[in-house]
Structures are given as C-alpha cells and as structure tokens.
A and B are shown apart, each in its own frame.
Chain A
Amino acid sequence: MNALREKARELLATKTVQVVIGYAPGSGGAARALFVREAAQAGELVFDETCLQNLAAYLMKPEVRRLGRAALVARPATLRTILQLAAENQLAESSLLALVPGADGVLSLSTFSAIEAHVAAQDNDLSAAEKSELEKFAAMGLDERREFWQEQFSRCLKCYACRAACPLCYCTRCTVECNQPQWIPVPAHDLGNLEWNVMRAMHLAGRCTNCGDCSRACPVGIPLYLLNQKLCSDVLSSFNQRSGMAARADHSLSTFKPDDPEDFIR
C-alpha cells in the first residue's frame, strides 16, 4: 500500500499523469473509487481485498478523460478490460498507465505491450468454482433453468445499474433508449426483463472480461455473472478466443472462420 501511495505521489509530482484513479475506504466495508489529482492526496489510497471495482469504467467517461492522462490501479480483470477497450479502438495508448499492486511493490505498466505481457502471464481462466457452477447449470433440466431465471429476472427493476457499471457498455445511445422501434419495453415486467437481460448478455458476448462489476452493481442481486461466464466459456470453446488478451484483436462476433461449428444448422 505504501509503495502504491509512493508511486502515485511520484507520478503526480513529476506530472507523468494528471490523475491517479484508485481506491479509498467507502461505506459498508466496501471500497470506493478515489480520484487523486494532487500528490498530497496520495496518502488516502488503499488497496486490499475489498477493492473490487473495475476502475477501467471511468476511462470511458468524457469528464474523466478531460482530466488528462490517468494512472489506473488495476486488478487482473481491469487489465483485460483495458486491452479489450484498446482492441475496440476506444483507448489511446498514451492516455493511461496501469498500476498493479503486488507482493513486492507496485508495477507500472505504461504500454499496451507491457499490459499484454502481464495479462498473458496471469490466470485468465474461469476459476474452478465458476466452472463447477456452470456445470451444475448444464446438468439441470430445461424447466428448472427456466424457472430459475424467471424468478431472478422477475426481480429486475430495469435500473440499468449493471449497464452503468460495465466498462464495456460505453455506447452513448443504448438500444434500451431506442423507441423507434421500442426494442426493450420501459416497464419492468417479465417479458421486457428477459429481453433486456438477453440483450445485455448478447451485446457483451465475446467482449465481457468477467470483472463481476455488473453483478455487484445489481441492487436485487441477480447473478448476471453466470450469463457472462457462460458466454465467455462458449466463446472460448466454440471460437478459441478470449476477450481482453491483446490490444489489437478481432472481436469474436465480428469475425469468423470458414470452419466454425455448424452441427446445429440443417
């Protein structure tokens, strides 16, 4: 933590960056985002197991971009998100550097290739627990799965906190706000809730970096991570692709291979 504060102080004092985006203690035992713009404020930064938020979401906000170059305290999924945003041509290499706190100090990654090398060395797979939860779902009957999701989605409020939290939901005009035609009904009823959640998942398929922020943001605790992880695992098994591995990469759903699986097509 001290190394992180020291690094932040140095980056701000030497004007290498104009803002350090990190974590500070928040309410209810959770951490909140902290924007450090003066070297003197760097002492407020913390980093521990409560610091879960994917801070890359802020890189897409115009008001944050206007602050100047940013140093971002990054967890493994944050690094993948940076690369995914870069692959979608949303980030300039010169606009950020990533600070990775570790056991022996803090690593400062200032180029996409440095981030790529770091990501390639970290574990990007679904965890054993995540995989076994997906297997449990696969073993359930169709009706059981439908009932499970119907109950979950029936609680959705259409608050779109999941969308606001997601660094990859950056469209300035979302299909949800489109009313000619009205793709997603405005009121929170079962049909519209299902349509919304299918759309959210599909629009993130092959892009989601499994940071978990959408699930954490959901005020009614819908396990959105299950949908994301299902799609991550399908993209990997069907196309052998993972999101967020490289700053230049084809998006798995806007490219193809002539021999993609088609056993389900007549």
Chain B
Amino acid sequence: MPDFQPKIVAFVCNWCTYAGADLTGTSRMKYSPQVSIIRFPCTGRIDFMLLLKAFASGADGIIVSGCHPNDCHYSSGNFHARRRWIIFRGLLDFLGIDVRRVQFSWVSAAEGAKWAQLVNETSERIRELGPFAGYQRLRGLGVG
C-alpha cells in the first residue's frame, strides 16, 4: 500500500517527551508528519482506555512516551505506568490485537533526535502493518 499515510497518535508527558519533541522542532529536525501529539501531565495519567479510544477514533498506531526511569517530575508516575503497560500489552496480545501498533518509549527533554527517530521508525512500521482496519471495522454499528 504505497499511498497509505498512517495516523499515529502520541501520548506524551509534559515534562520530558513533550519538551523533547519541542526540541526536535526548534532544532529544525525533519521527521514524519503523521503523528499527532497529545500532551499529558505525566505518563501515570495515560489511562489504557485512552489508547483504546485512539484506535476507535481511527489511529493506526500509537506512541506512548515519557521520562526515563528516575526522571519523572512526580518521581514515580513512569514506574507505575510501566507496570500498567506490561499488563495492558499482555492483555492486548491475548485478545489478538497486534502490540506492534503500540510503541512505548522513554524520551527525555534533551533527546530531540531520539524523538525524530522514534516517530520515523514507528510510522515506517505502521506503514508496513497497514491500516488498522480490523479495529476500525468494530465500529460497524456506527456508535462509538
């Protein structure tokens, strides 16, 4: 599918990854434009239901990113989030949802280059996986 432009939603924390993505821009680094960034106070606030809602709204892939371990602005939000992701990923896989569509990462405020690389690689992978039609078909009844 050469023309397929994946929709990627990035859930990022305010303190590290959002600032990191900002740095990517202010450093004039070019990266894949398919990503829409949503800023959260902390990775600890990124409820798994929000990821499901992103898929339901048409996202083909998701990035979830925050501060590296020990760098959380609230000291432990990312550690708690990590446990939730471990369990959530296992459940998605068990339900037959391809976890390659959800990329988790730590990107600090200084890692503008890592952010660009992360988005590029993720959008490349989602492009290969194609549209998330299986999930979007669930909307069948048109109520969401």
A contact residues vs B (CB 8 Å cutoff): 137, 142-150, 175, 183, 185, 187, 189-192, 194-195, 198-199, 201-202, 205-206, 226-227, 230-231, 234-235, 238-239, 252-256, 258, 260-262, 264-266
Contacts and interface: CB of A to CB of B under 8 A. Distances in A.
- Which of A189, A191, A239, A264 counts the most chain B CB atoms within 10 A? A191
Shortest beta-carbon contacts, A-B, top 10: A146-B96, A145-B96, A256-B79, A266-B105, A189-B141, A191-B138, A190-B138, A234-B90, A265-B104, A205-B87
A262 B85 CA distance: 9
Given A191-B56, A254-B80, A137 B139 contact: no
24 contacts: A143-B96, A145-B93, A145-B94, A187-B143, A190-B138, A190-B140, A191-B140, A192-B144, A194-B138, A195-B49, A198-B91, A198-B95, A202-B88, A206-B87, A226-B94, A227-B91, A231-B87, A238-B83, A256-B82, A258-B70, A258-B79, A260-B83, A265-B82, A266-B104
A142 B80 CA distance: 28
A148 B134 CA distance: 14
Nearest to B78: A256
Contact of A253 (B83, B104, B143): B83
Given A238-B87, A252-B83, A264-B104, A189 B96 contact: no
A256 B76 contact: yes
Contacts, number: 120
Contacts of B48: 198, 202
A231 B91 contact: yes
A238 B86 CA distance: 8
**Residues of B contacting A: mostly:** helix
B106 interface: yes
Most buried by A among B79, B94, B105, B144: B94
Q: Which of B84, B95, B134 has the most CB of A within 10 A?
A: B95
